[in-house]
Amino acid sequence: MTGAMIGGMHGASAQRAPLAIVTGANRGIGREVARQLLKGGLDVVLTARDAEKGEAVVAALCAEGLSPAFHVLDVARDASVAAFADWLRHAHGRCDVLVNNAGIAIDGWDTPLENLPLDVLQRTLDTNLFGVLRVARALLPLMRAGGYGRIVNLSSGMGQLSDMQAGAPAYRISKTALNAATRILARELADGDFKVNSMCPGWVRTDMGGPNATRSVQEGADTAVWLATLAEDGPTGGFFRDRQPIPW
Would you please indicate which residues are annotated as catalytic (active-site) residues? 171
Residue type, 203: W
Distance between CA atoms of residues 197 and 182, nearest Å: 6
Residue type, 84: F
Distance between CA atoms of residues 87 and 72, nearest Å: 10
Contacts of 96 (CB under 8 A, 6+ apart): 9, 13, 18, 19, 20, 143, 146, 148, 149, 150
**Pairing relationship of beta strands 239-241 and 244-245 according to DSSP bridges:** antiparallel
Distance between CA atoms of residues 127 and 129, nearest Å: 6
CA 76-83-147 angle, to 5 degrees, is: 95
